[in-house]
Amino acid sequence: MKPGRFPCLLGCFLMAAATLGSKVVPRVTFQRGDPSREVGTFSQEGILSYDTFLLSADGATLFVGGRDAILALNISSSPIRLKGKIPWSPSPEKRRECVFKKKSNETECFNFIRILVQLNETHLYTCGTYAFSPTCAYIDVENFTLVADAKGQPLLQEGKGLCPFDPRHQNTALIVDGDLYTGTMNNFQGNEPVISRTLGSRTVLKTDSFLSWLHDDAVFVASFNVPGPPDDEKIYFFFEETAKEFDFFEKLTVSRVARVCKNDVGGDKVLQKKWTTFLKAQLSCSQTGLFPHTVLQHVFALPQPRGGTLFYGIFASQWQTRSSSSSAVCAFSLDAIQKAFDGKYKELNKDCSRWMTYSGPPMDPRPGSCSVGPSSDKALTFMKDHFLMDEKVAPIHNQPLLVKEDVKYTRITVDQAQKACGAACTVLFLGTDRGSLHKAVVVGHKAHIIEEIQLFEKPEPVQNLLLVPEKGILYVGYSEGILEVLVANCSVYATCASCLLARDPYCAWDGHLCRAVWEDTRNRTDWLQDVEQGKAEAVCQRHSGKGRAMPRSRNDSDGISLKVLTGPFNSLLRLPCPQVSALANYSWTYPEGIFPSQEGLAVRDHTGLLVFVHSRTLGEYTCWASENGYQHRVAWYDLRSDLPMDGASGSKGSSEHQAVPVGEWRSYWVQFVTVTVLLSMTLAVAMALGFFSYHDKLKAKTKVQGCSVPESTRTPVQEKAPLNGSQSPPGDRDYQSQDATDGTKSCCVQVEGGSRDVDTDNNRLNCPLMNGEDARAVEAI
């Protein structure tokens, strides 16, 4: 792209983004500590950074890697309980070396656990940053201790190339048939990414840093083993890096997927102890009219019931619109990824230093394929320079499933939930950098955010998510502990309509209650659920015996009781309107025959109605919510005066509650008097300051300013009779004339004679002139 074209392209993107920005919002938001959305909490004193999770094979134990410790937690029942703890801190020598390397002894020179994998039935394998000296060890599962050597000391191994030096660098690791596949930074500086295979019986292999297969700023986010034929099984790595194949005026970050073959043995003469099957392709996650989301944050692999795998990734944008960030969720099929790897290669044209599509003759066997046996030197030489694929990997439906503005997703996990009818449904759980959890259901080509939960008191990123579908529990890792969140919260939906409007695949209406679908797997044929459209009115009315869709009268209120509010005349009362859904539109009905909002007697805001208590405003007020074609009552008030009215019976003929004012009536007389007094004092001070300022100006005008006059009005006068009676020499007259041209100049007059009085109080000279000669003399002076 020519640099001159970019400003125009940028302007088009900004205009499109401003008009096409996503308006997806969570339907319901629960604040931290809300009793209607309880969250379990676990923390261990002295342990921070609960970042790395590993679930045991039986699902009863959760292993957690934190800072300077590894925990074993019993999650077979709630609440979470501690089973075992392994303290693992860096040695004092390593700490001193870390500080000597100019690292912080308060935040960095610790052992942050970054790898925790199940090596076999009896042992785990773990690695940590170990104060910027990556170190690994084995864990005995039965005793939950570090495996020791003959001297009783922990058996430690060098972790370089397996675990990052810096705890801020991301990494990925997985065990496949005893081999450890890792993607991490290979050096202290953090500019040498590497993908390697170690531990097992196979040949140790890694990427070649000299050939620049990976850019020096690569960030690894996930890795997966997709089962397949034994001779065609592959390991996939997902990461982001700066792209070198584009001509761009600044660094362009792109998302990648790379693959290596499980049966790769390395080269004989060429690419010795290096991958011979390493290939990478670009992931595309963009929506027409918006900036592309190119920065990969995390990926989750979900096997499909009918075979195959979908990879769900969360992406951020390198650019921002209107100073706000945005995130997108895209899903990629394994078939689309394989199609890209089976396509054409890119190669660097050294004559023009540009990446171009390779147009040479095909080779057999195809370079990069998982062929049995060693490849030829010709094929390996070709692989050294042809590791980048030409075709991009497009998401399913060629668009994101979800684009959310003003948020940055950090972690994702996906569940294949079963609806009441037995059909499968995809549910996304998304953690944000501000400590929120979004639960969204995928319907067709788009996702609907069911709820948002504020997890923490202070905003901080969600570090890890682990879903245990069999338990219906999601575990959330953060800096100070672990949260236990139930994926279903059906009891919060009290009616058939609210249960269906939620569009939650975990919940259905059984005729009396909104229940989790797994509570009864045999008798769900009559349960009501509409995840696809959420048509509460149509579904609930067809099954009127199972639940009601709309109030039929004033008294049929879907469980909303009438609240009687009283207050004195000329007071203000607030009538709250509960925001049961962010997707609903809210409206009010007023007492019959009056329109207080048009007459200034009531004011609406986003939380309710502020009513001026008046004889014309007494009566019933109802707040209605309209969502997806269904209207229902969410608040119902009867406003009365606390003074008895003629003909008032005190009863509305319905179930009446004790008067509960929404907002306690207050008298503002004290505040009114206070403001009035302060205003009066302010005006008095202002008037006094004005009077004194005017008085000072009058005094200044009456003061003797000397004999100076403006130069423009001055008339040269020759002194005929000097005051001292002597003749001034010519030089003196010239000197006086020169002084006169210098502008205003004060002079002193010596007063002689008793007829002249001096008013010292007002700085005034009372000197009546006796004759014309004296007058001329004073005028000359």
pLDDT tens digits for 383-402? 999 999 999 999 999 999 99
Instruction: Tell whether 503 and 571 lie within a shared domain.
Output: no
**DSSP assignment letter at 658:** P
> CB atoms < 10 A from the CB of 206, how many?
18
504 and 630 in one domain? Answer: no
3-state secondary structure of 492: helix
Beta strands in 48-122 (DSSP E): 52-55, 61-65, 69-74, 81-87, 113-118
Q: Say if strands 40-42 and 145-146 run parallel, antiparallel, or are unpaired.
A: unpaired
Rounded distance between C-alpha atoms, residue 131 and residue 565, angstroms: 65
Q: Which residue has the tokens 């004005």?
A: 690
Radius of gyration (C-alpha) of the chain in whole angstroms = 41
Q: How crowded is residue 72: how many other Cβ atoms within 10 Å of its Cβ? A: 19
* Proportion of the chain above pLDDT 70, given as a percent: 80
Number of domains present in the structure of the chain:
3
In a domain, 267, yes or no: yes
Would you say 277 and 368 are in contact if contact means Cβ atoms under 8 Å apart? yes
How far apart, in Å, are the Cα atoms of 153 and each of 98, 145, 156, 351, 391?
A: 22, 11, 9, 58, 52
- Give the CATH number of the domain where residue 363 resides: 2.130.10.10
Q: Which of 374, 406, 438 is where one domain is finished?
A: 406
Copy the structure tokens of residue 142.
């039965």
Is residue 279 over pLDDT 90? yes
Rounded CA separation 309/332 (Å): 8
Parallel, antiparallel, or unpaired: how do β-strands 608-612 and 602-604 relate?
antiparallel
Contact present, 434 and 410 (Cβ < 8 Å):
no
**Shared-domain flag, residues 248 and 174:** yes
Measure the CA–CA gap between 192 and 550, rounded to whole angstroms: 64
Is 293 in the same domain as 381? yes
For the segment 429-445, the average pLDDT, to the nearest whole number, is 97
Whole-angstrom distance, CA of residue 375 vs CA of residue 366: 10
Any domain includes 754: no
Q: What's at 6, amino acid-wise?
A: F
Identify which of 128, 127, 66, 130 has the alpha carbon closest to the alpha carbon of residue 93.
Answer: 130
* pLDDT for residue 414 is more than 50: yes
723 pLDDT higher than 50: no
Is 626 within a domain? yes
DSSP sequence for 247-297: --SS--EEEEEEEEETT---BSSSSBTB-SS-EEEEE----TTS----EEE
Q: Are 181 and 173 in contact (CB under 8 A)?
A: yes
Q: Looking at the domain assignment, is residue 767 inside a domain?
A: no
Model confidence band, residue 188 (pLDDT cutoffs 50, 70, 90) = very high
Q: What are phi and psi of 20, to 5 degrees?
A: -110, 10
Q: Could you say which of 336, 371, 406 is where a domain stops?
A: 406
Distance of CA 393 to the CA centre of its chain: 27
Q: How many CB atoms lie within 10 A of CB 401?
A: 22
Mean pLDDT, the chain, as a whole number? 83
200 and 349 both lie in a single domain: yes
pLDDT of residue 231: 87
Which band of pLDDT confidence, cut at 50, 70 and 90, is reported for residue 713? very low
Query: Which tokens in the block code for residue 753?
Result: 């004679």
Is 88 within 8 Å of 128 (Cβ atoms)?
yes
Contact yes or no for 309/236 (Cβ under 8 A): no
Show which of 621, 641, 661 is a domain's final residue: 641
pLDDT by residue (tens digit) across 21-68?
447 999 999 999 999 999 999 999 999 999 999 999 999 999 999 999
Is the pLDDT confidence value at 409 over 80? yes
- Residue 624: name the closest of 589, 573, 575, 583 by CA: 589
CA 413 – CA 449 distance, rounded (Å): 14
Q: Are strands 630-641 and 563-567 parallel, antiparallel or unpaired?
A: parallel
By three-state DSSP, how is residue 465 classified?
Answer: strand
The lowest-confidence range among 96-110, 239-253, 598-612 is 598-612
Report the pLDDT averaged over residues 417-423: 91
Q: Which residues lie closer than 8 Å to 120 by C-beta, 6 or more apart?
A: 178
Bond into 92 cis (ω within 30): no
pLDDT at 537 over 80: yes
CA 492 → CA 455, 469, 474, 724, distances in Å?
A: 18, 21, 18, 109
Phi, psi at 373, each rounded to 5°:
95, 170
pLDDT above 90 for 475? yes
**Is the domain of 341 the same as that of 280?**
yes
Half-sphere exposure of 389 (CA within 13 A, CB side): 24
Q: Give the H or E element holding residue 514.
A: strand 514-516
Q: Is 235 exposed, middle or buried (0-12, 13-18, 19+ CB in 10 A)?
A: buried
Amino acid at 437: L
Q: CA–CA separation, 385 vs 211, rounded Å?
A: 8
Amino acid at position 718, single letter: Q
Query: Are 22 and 404 contacting, i.e. CB atoms less than 8 angstroms apart?
Result: yes
Which domain CATH number covers 628? 2.60.40.10
Residue 492 pLDDT exceeds 60: yes
Residue 588 pairs in a beta bridge with: 623
> Mapping DSSP to helix (H, G, I), strand (E, B) and coil, where does residue 212 land?
coil
The values of phi and psi at residue 398, to 5°, are 55, 30
| Residue 114 tokens, joined | 């970054």
- Identify whether the C-beta of residue 44 lies closer than 8 Å to the C-beta of residue 71: yes
∠ CA 274-275-277 to the nearest 5 degrees? Answer: 155
Q: How far is CA 183 from the centre of its chain?
A: 27
414 belongs to a structural domain: no
In a domain, residue 518? The reply is: yes
Q: Which helix (H) or strand (E) holds 609?
A: strand 608-612
Tell me what pLDDT residue 321 has.
66
Distances (CA, A) of 571 to 309, 564, 610: 64, 16, 10
Same domain, 241 and 325: yes
Give the mean pLDDT of 510-528.
88
Mean pLDDT over 404-421 rounds to 94
Residue pair 527/513 in contact by the 8 Å Cβ criterion: no
Under 8 Å CB-to-CB from 461, ≥6 apart: which residues? Answer: 410, 431, 432, 433, 434, 435, 478
Question: Which range marks the domain in which residue 606 is found?
Answer: 563-641
Q: How confident is the model at residue 72 (pLDDT cuts 50, 70, 90)?
A: very high
What's residue 165's pLDDT?
97
- Verify that 351 and 251 share a domain, yes or no: yes
619 plus 503 within the same structural domain: no
pLDDT of 351 over the 70 cut: yes
| Contact call for residues 370 and 262 (beta carbons, < 8 A) | yes
Of 720 and 490, the one with more pLDDT: 490
CB atoms within 10 A of CB 204: 13
DSSP state of 657: P
Tell me the C-alpha distance between 218 and 339, whole Å. Answer: 24
Shared-domain flag, residues 384 and 514: no
Which of 232, 285, 241 has its CA nearest to residue 259? 232
**Mean pLDDT of the region 633-659:** 60
The confidence score (pLDDT) of residue 470 equals: 93
DSSP string, 341-381: HTS-EEEEETTTTEEEE--S---SSPTTS--SSPPPHHHHH
In 3-state terms, the chain is what percent helix, strand and coil (to 5)?
15, 35, 50
β-strands 436-443, 446-454: how paired? antiparallel
Q: Indicate whether 555 belongs to any domain.
A: no
In terms of domains, do 241 and 381 share one? yes
pLDDT at position 667 is: 58
The residue among 548 and 507 whose pLDDT is bigger is: 507
Q: Is the pLDDT higher at 359 or at 671?
A: 359
Q: Indicate if 295 and 223 belong to the same structural domain.
A: yes
Query: Is position 174 within any domain?
Result: yes
pTM over 0.85: no
User: 77-113 burial by CB neighbour count: b if 16+ within 10 A, else e?
Assistant: eeebeeebbbebbbeeebbebbeeeebeeeebbbbbb
Q: What is the pLDDT of residue 550?
A: 43
End-to-end CA distance of the chain: 85
Looking at residue 288, its pLDDT comes to: 80
Per the model's pLDDT, the better-predicted residue between 11 and 527 turns out to be 527
